[in-house]
Amino acid sequence: MPSTKVVDLAAHPLTAWRGPLGLPDFAHIGDGDFSPVFDAALKAHEAEIDAIATNQEVPTIENTLAALELGGEALDHVSSIFWCRAGAYTNETIQALERDISPKMSRHFSAISMNEKLFARIDDLYQRREALKLDPETLRVLEKTWKGFVRSGAKLDADGKIRLAKINEELSSLGTTFGQNVLADERDWALFLDEADLAGLPDFVKSSMAEAAEMRGRKGRYAVTLSRSIYEPFTTFSERRDLREIAYRAFTMRGQNGGASDNTTVVRDMLKLRAEKAKLLGYASFAALKLDDTMAKTPMAVHALLDPVWEKALEKAAADQKELERLAAKAGSNEKFAAWDWRFYQEKLRAEKFAFDEAELKPYLQLDRIIDACLDVATRLFGITFQEKKGIAAWHPDARVFVVKNADGSERGLFLADYFARPSKRSGAWMSALKSGYKLGHGSQPVIYNIMNFAKPPAGEPALLSVDEAKTLFHEFGHALHGMLTDVTWPSVSGTSVSRDFVELPSQLYEHWLTVPAVLEKHALHVKTGKPMPQALLDKMLATRTFGAGFATVEFTASALIDMAYHARPDAPEEPLRFEAETLEKLDMPGTIAMRHRTPHFGHVFAGEGYSAGYYSYMWSEVLDADAFAAFEETGDPFNPALAERLRKNIYAAGGSKDPEELYTAFRGKMPSPEAMMVKRGLV
């Protein structure tokens, strides 16, 4: 039932942002505020859409396309705060609202995309596009808008529109259920241990586990949780094989434990609905529908990238496993080598080959200093600066606020970051926007945020990161820069509004600067002595960059291939988990390596449509990022000013204003081949 509460959208803190620095006034936003404000904002947006659709004047860019782009500001505001809360700081009230709001939003946007009068006005502009003599960005926005309407059912008959709207609504609800089920499994499972159970664990793992136990009301004990920031180091260092097995099984069975949080039927229903949706819209498969607006274009092109990588990764992993089995036998193990042994013995092999223990690096990778490194690299490359503002309330006390300024001192926008894991936050790491940046109408400065899940240290102790966690921080900050540096007119092509297989380029490229020696020398300082990382340790770290490439590439590529297998077929499997197992068997998937994301917890693909038929895009973008960083290496200067300016202009600032191939070619002069990526991964 819609709320009967009268809401003044011009004054409510969810829609009229009058907090410090122009942020929402989070201190005056309660969980009970969302529902009535959503109802009022949806109604207001409906009225705006109706006014555009029924306008009797001849359609123009201003009265139709621009009006459509600028409409729904109140809905944008309440939505951005709500979805931030739903991901980063949820509770039962927010989750109940999420289940209610997701289908409402789906119905709302389906009605817009199927509004015949509105589409007629867009279609009129589209048919006259050449005569209108539009600038390239506006022409691109018009073409993308028209295609978006068609792909959303604007040309279907009445029955088709009704069915598609219903499918979208059901998919939205199922995606919400999927994500909440995974969060429930992650929140509700913990393995509580005592001091006697901690053999082999470095101090940083113990302190993270102690803090996790205290957060769960078990002060004095140690908790293994299903957060990667605890699970991965635990299974890397714990000498207790029995405990590694328990943690591994819990981690890989998220979403598949029976009961209320089991995702088996959720996945089955989603795949059926996606296949039906594709057929309704005239596509051979859901993958064909999703890939139509990407660089790859077809499932065949995706397989042309993934299949050769898969073969090389299998070879590398098989050779590595022999080495790991040798170490296990040498250590006296007579058990058959298993998946919960891989990380443990891989770390032993790293120590043997490189006289290197990842635990040696931790004291040099303090969270605050790696954040400083991220910001410093952005300043050196792009001239922007960051000033942290303390004491400003955000969605959670852990969230930090930074003012972003241009080289001339003018304000560019805001950056917020929330770094620590907690039971109320979904796992993983991501970037999003409270507001995007654009020039249309009165314009808008970007307000961008990053969410991480690093283990929180006990009070007074510094947070220490692994190399992978430091890379994750750089990765998500690369996405944030894509949002902050945007320099476009139209909201719909701002920042990360680019094709799915191009969006990971700015993030994955930014990771490269973490291991630039000059960056590590300045920021990788020992937590106790303050001294920089010794050259010998730095050399070892750089030498091991491709170590474990077989394992890492198999676990990632298996997930990408399963995603494509589900969605490239014209129908849906009746038993998705059996299909997963049969597909992996055909692929010769090693039994000793698990997919990075098994189906029941594959949030990228099933907690919404984000990366469905698109998980490959990380590797597609990796082909680009390996080649892009090589451009800097070729100059001998990782901060080459002329190249950095081309990078800013064509990649980070351009958003979706041009075709991605055109943008990349403007930066690099040509499109790359996968060879540089294979070399970077250590596969050739």
Alpha-carbon span 524 to 499, nearest angstrom: 35
E strand or H helix that includes residue 420: strand 411-420
Residue 292 is given by DSSP the state T
Instruction: Burial-class residue 245 by CB neighbours within 10 Å (0-12, 13-18, 19+).
Output: middle
Q: For residue 448, what is the enclosing H or E element?
A: strand 447-454
C-alpha–C-alpha distance, residues 124 and 59, integer Å: 7
The residue type found at 356 is F
| 411-420 and 430-435 strand pairing | unpaired
DSSP per-residue codes, 123-139 = HHHHHTTTTTT--HHHH
Structure tokens at 305: 């990238």
d(Cα 347, Cα 342) in Å, to the nearest integer?
A: 9
Q: Is the dihedral of CA 289, 291, 297, 299 positive or negative?
A: negative
Which residue among the candidates 476, 504, 555, 609 is catalytic per the annotation? 476
Distance separating alpha carbons of residues 677 and 625, to the nearest angstrom? 8
Structure tokens, 631: 């451009």
Contacts of 645 (CB under 8 A, 6+ apart): none
- Token representation of residue 669: 């002069």
Contact 277, 164 (CB under 8 A): yes
Q: How many residues does the chain have?
A: 684
Are the C-beta atoms of residues 619 and 295 closer than 8 Å to each other?
Answer: no
574 is catalytic: no
Give CA torsion, residues 548, 550, 555, 559, to 10 deg: 140
What residues are labeled active site? 476
